[in-house]
Chain A
Amino acid sequence: MTKEECKKIVLDIIEEIAPDEDLSTLKAEVGLRDQLDLDSMDFLDIVMELRKQHGIEVPEADYPKLASLQSCADYLTPKFNEIKA
Chain B
Amino acid sequence: MAGLAAGIRLAMYDRSVLIVERHNAPGGLNGFYSFDGRKFDVGLHAVTNYVEKGVKGTPMGKLFRQLRIPREDFALCPQKRSRIAFPDVDLGFTNDISFLEQEVERAFGEDVDSFRALRAAVLAHDEFDLSAKAISAREVVRGYVANPLLIEMIFCPLMYYGSARENDMDWDQFVIMWKALFEEGFGRPLEGVRVVIRALLNRYRAVGGQRKMKCGVRRIVVDGERATALELDDGSVLTADHVISTAGVVETQRMCEGQPKTVGSDNIGGLSFVESITVLDCEPKALGWDETIVFFNDSERFAYERAKDAVDVRSGVICFPNNYEYAEGEILPEGLFRVTAMANFDYWSRLAEEDYKGQKAYWYEEMQRSAMRFLPPVGMEQLKSHTQYVDMFSPRTIKKFTGHEAGAIYGAPNKVKDGRTHLDNLYLAGTDQGFLGIIGAMLSGVSMANLHVLQGSK
Contact = CB atoms under 8 A, between A and B. Distances in A.
Given A20-B56, A41-B446, A41-B450, A48 B13 contact: yes
Interface residues of A, number: 14
Interface in A28-56: 37, 39, 41-42, 44-45, 48, 52
Interface in B406-458: 446-447, 450, 454-456, 458
Interface in B43-87: 54, 56-57, 61-62, 65-66, 68
A18 B65 contact: yes
Contacts of A37: 56-57, 61
Contacts, number: 32
Contacts of B447: 41
B455 A42 contact: no
A44 B454 contact: yes
A52 to B, nearest CB: 6
Contacts of A17: 65, 68
A42 B65 contact: yes
Interface of A: 16-18, 20, 37, 39, 41-42, 44-45, 48, 52, 57, 60
Interface in B1-26: 13-14
B263 to A, nearest CB: 33
B54 A45 contact: no
Interface residues of B, number: 17
List of 10 A-B pairs having minimum Cβ-Cβ separation, nearest first: A37-B56, A60-B456, A48-B13, A37-B57, A41-B66, A44-B450, A18-B65, A44-B455, A52-B13, A17-B65
A42 B447 CA distance: 12
Contacts of B57: 37, 39
Given A41-B447, A57-B458, A60-B455, 11 more contacts: A17-B65, A18-B65, A39-B57, A41-B65, A41-B66, A41-B450, A44-B455, A45-B65, A45-B66, A48-B454, A52-B13
B360 to A, nearest CB: 44
Contacts of A39: 57, 62
A18 B70 CA distance: 11
